[in-house]
Amino acid sequence: MEIVVRRRDDVTILDVAGRIAGSDSLDLKRAIDAQIEIAAGNIAKIVLNLERVRIVDSFGLGVIVAAYTSIQRNGGRIALLNVGGNIKNLIVMAKLMTIFDRYDNEDEAVASFQ
């Protein structure tokens, strides 16, 4: 898994590429934990760009859900960007549509935090 961390205004965008599956998923967990740490009490504003993610398994899905709950607990918010194909199917099947805000356009995702 490759994760590129970018900033736009006070929003952090994580561009993820590869697989969010098995133990690889822990890289994503660590990256998100780091962002919560950096926010240090301030509101963490995170966009998870899944455009280049090909595979997610139940473990990876769990990591994404865990990211949601821990950001939520810290008063922040996470939005998903470019959720397509197989991953969209998984999120629909697992009934996670309701908990995540999803966008297909980066500007809209960033603007949603303002």
Partner 1 sequence: MDRTPDGHVISLDIPSSMQLVYVLDSVISQILKEMGFDDESREQVNLAVIEAGTNAIKHGNKEDVNKRARFEFILNQDKLTVVVQDGGAGFDRNSVENPLNPENLLKSSGRGIFLMETCMDAVTYEAPGTTVRMVKYKKSPSNKQK
* Cβ closest to partner 1, residue 8 vs residue 19: 19
Task: Tell me: does residue 4 bind partner 1 (CB under 8 A).
Answer: no
Q: How far apart are CA 32 and CA 34, in angstroms?
A: 5
Task: Tell me: does residue 99 bind partner 1 (CB under 8 A).
Answer: yes
The total of other beta-carbon atoms located within 10 Å of residue 29's CB is 17
Least Å distance, CB 27 to partner 1, is 15
Task: Tell me: does residue 62 bind partner 1 (CB under 8 A).
Answer: yes
Task: Tell me: does residue 18 bind partner 1 (CB under 8 A).
Answer: no
Task: Tell me: does residue 11 bind partner 1 (CB under 8 A).
Answer: no
The set of residues, in sequence order, having a beta carbon less than 8 Å from that of 60 and lying 6+ positions away, is 19, 20, 21, 22, 24, 25, 28
Task: Tell me: does residue 93 bind partner 1 (CB under 8 A).
Answer: yes
**Which residue of 39, 50, 83, 90 would you call a contact of partner 1, by CB under 8 A?**
90
Q: Please give the backbone phi and psi of residue 86, each rounded to the nearest 5 degrees, phi first.
A: -55, -40
User: Phi-psi category of 63—alpha, beta or left, where left has phi over 0 and alpha has psi -120 to 50?
Assistant: alpha
By CB under 8 A, name the binding residues for partner 1. 21-23, 55, 57-59, 61-63, 65-66, 68-69, 86, 90, 93-96, 98-99
